[in-house]
Structure 1
Amino acid sequence: MNLPSPLARLRAIPWKNPLVLAAVGGVVLIAAVVLFFLFRPGGLVSGGEAYEYLQAGRAPMRVTLREGAIIQPEHRLNVTPPIAGRIDSVAVLNGDLVKQGQILGWISSTNRAALMDAARAAGGKEIAFWDDVFKPAPLIAPLDGRIISTAVVPGQVVQAAQAVFTMSDHLIVQSNVDETDLKSVWVGQEVEITFDSFPDMVLKGTVHDIAYDATIVNNVTTYLVNIFLTETPTLIRSGVSANVFLIVSDRKDVLQVPTDALTPENEVLVVPGKGETPILRKIEVGATNGQFTEVVSGLDEGDWIARRAFALQRAKKGGFSFLAPGGKKKDQDKDKDKKK
């Protein structure tokens, strides 16, 4: 079977048909517009490269250090009975706040438990007599705090060294900070804390102390940082995972440019004038929050800079945009006319 050649297929197209002529004309027009915007002087592509034009400006800048963390009691204390015996009653629940000296429960010694069992078996006045003569021992809270764990129930036999309650004085946030980030952490530093389990909750706190002794795990050196909460909601529990944002700096009027407009050598493409090709200029930079970088010197507020196409594509996270800078350049000219 002989197939027609490509040239023969082209000849077979009814070129005089108005619909065919309209379709071809539309394709040609679109191609012409795209080429015009790509390669016109001062357009999207200058010297074979694509740019986005923007101005250096002033805005607030907050620099934070993010670390993983966990909620833990600052001091965890096990309450043990003064004697071996049997638990008579428990007077508190998990989560209760208690005061130092408060009775948490009662325990009968081994001898009292045996006598009370015999009195109950005998019945009558024996129970009241031995209950009055042989008193149970109280389980007393050694400090102010919260009951975070109860390990016994009434009737359970325990030993003198066995933990029956676990208390904590108050909950704190503990974070292991890498040694390379330690320069950005100090006592009294303000901190914001968020939780994966409670996405809408943001707590505030301050750094209380930084460990002097390092912890080394898998050849990574970290230091334990304890953070005290300004307020501890009842939702927070010991062992809850958290994210801490240590506020390194928080300023309101900072001259800055997008970080992805800078080269690794801290150079930026400066636009000298309308329709001119951007030129590299080295600037002095300061703090950065990742998205924006502070300009210490080398640029003034309102200076126009250009961002290369690869940075533009990365900033927009996919998809190329035909961004015509003509409007922005006109605004730049208007600003210059106003200054004049």
Structure 2
Amino acid sequence: ILSTGLVKPENKLEIKPPIAGRVESVLVKEGAKVRKGQTLAWMSSTERAAMLDAATARGPEELKKWEELYRPTPILAPINGTIIQRNVESGQTFATNDAVLVMSDRLTIKAQVDETDLAQIKLGQKATIGLDAYAGDQIRGTVDQIAYDATTVNNVTTYVVDVLPDSTPPHMRSGMTANVTFVVNAREDVLTVPADAIKVEEGKMVILVEDPQTKQPVKRVVQVGATDGKKTEILEGLKEGEPVMVVSFSGLGERKANAANPFMGGPPNRAKKKK
């Protein structure tokens, strides 16, 4: 099952100063990994800031005395996580309702799954995540949560499925577009052909294979198994390495004897074992 979604923080937390005043120093940058209780910044209350400003005018010795007498207040990390926003620089003043930093505990993918596919999605199910910004980079993940409330846009109903990466690469960022492939039925060492090579005729699954004598395409009934929409498993009716065609079946019986060989236009698709 294929789906698209966005990378989002699972839990997003704004860090606000415990007191109103001036930030003296900031110890972390965006993207920094921090631990619960770690000091993120130091700040002075409004009174301490005014006192230090007055002491500065009287000389360095006076300033040092008041700095030792009145210690700054630390801003601490409330949880383990990552700093995703830094809204503060040294010297800025803040009130207690201002967010100086924003952090998240971990990133997850909010995938939009069509309601027709929802029955095949289970908690703990494996998935593969691809980021548009890093094509070719595949990240393994696990279904962590399935929404109970749906979203309907243009008569299409979807549910949000949270996919938690097994490990979060350093280049993954909040807001990135992700493509998620949910593993519904994992199969190994099976014979597969392109899904487009299979047609339904009179209730039977039919493919085109090469006649070894005439080199022309002929129909063959096969038994199919699982499919991911791109590749389909062949249970019976085909051997590994046999050429198969992805062409229209219409008019096949009306080919002339001197018709061009459709297998000669390039290398044909062949039945392959999927490891």
Give TM class, smaller chain: 0.7 to 0.9
Percent identical across equivalent pairs? 40
Alignment of 1:263 onto 2:203: no
| Match runs of 1:101-250 below 5 Å | 101-123=37-59, 125-250=61-186
Q: Deviations over 1:164-208 (max 9, x none)?
A: 011111122221111111122111111111122212311111111
Matched, 1:87 2:23: yes
Q: Which amino acid aligns with 1:243?
A: N
The residue identity in structure 2 corresponding to 1:71 is: V
Q: Which has the higher helix share?
A: 1
For 1:281-332, what per-residue CA distance to the aligned partner results, in whole angstroms no more than 9, with x for missing partners?
A: 6x76543233444456xx5455x999695259xxxxxxx952479xxxxxxx
Counterpart Cα distance in 2 of 1:228 and 1:128 = 50
Deviations 1:129-169 (A, max 9, x none): 32222222110110111111110101111110100011111
What is the total number of aligned residue pairs between the two structures?
A: 251
Which of residues 261, 265, 268 is equivalent to 1:322? 261
TM value normalised by structure 2: 0.77
* Deviation, structure 1 residue 261: 3.4
C-alpha RMSD of the superposition: 3.4
**SS in structure 2 of the partner of residue 214 of structure 1:** strand
For the structure 1 residues 270 and 246, does the alpha-carbon distance in structure 2 shift closer, same or farther, using more than 3 Å as the test?
A: closer
Range moving further from structure 2, 72-81 or 205-214: 205-214
The answer as to whether partners of 2:223 and 2:237 remain within 8 angstroms in 1 is no
User: What residue number does 2:5 align with?
Assistant: 69
1: CA distance between counterparts of 2:219 and 2:86?
Answer: 70
| Letter of the 1:205 counterpart | G
What is the TM-score normalised by the length of structure 1? 0.64
Question: What runs of 5+ residues in structure 2 fail to find an aligned partner?
Answer: 251-258, 265-275
Q: Structure 1 residue runs of 4+, over 3 Å off?
A: 253-261, 264-267, 277-281, 283-286, 291-296, 299-302, 304-309
Name the aligned partner's letter for residue 310 of structure 1. Answer: S
The alpha-carbon distance between structure 1 residues 289 and 124, as it changes in their structure 2 partners (threshold 3 A), is: closer
**Contact persistence 1:85–1:159 (CA under 8 A):** yes
Relative CO higher for 1 or 2, CA cutoff 8 Å, sep ≥ 6? 1
Deviation at 1:280, TM superposition (A): 8.7
Return the alpha-carbon distance in structure 1 between the equivalents of residues 247 and 58 of structure 2.
Answer: 95
The separation in 2 between residues aligned to 1:270 and 1:215, in whole angstroms, is 42
Distance 1:236 1:279 in 2: 48
Match of 1:289 among 211, 220, 228: 228
SS in 1 for 2:3: strand
- How far apart, in 1, do the equivalents of 2:15 and 2:39 lie? 12
Mapped contact 2:127–2:183 kept (Cα < 8 A): yes
The change in CA–CA distance for 1:322 and 1:145 in structure 2 (over 3 A counts) is: same
Alpha-carbon separation, structure 1, partners of 2:226 and 2:63: 77
Aligned letter for 2:227?
T
Question: Counterparts of 1:191 and 1:308 in 2: how far apart (Å)?
Answer: 29
Q: Is the 1:261–1:307 Cα contact (8 Å) retained in structure 2?
A: no
Rounded Cα–Cα distance in structure 1 between residues aligned with 2:87 and 2:175: 18
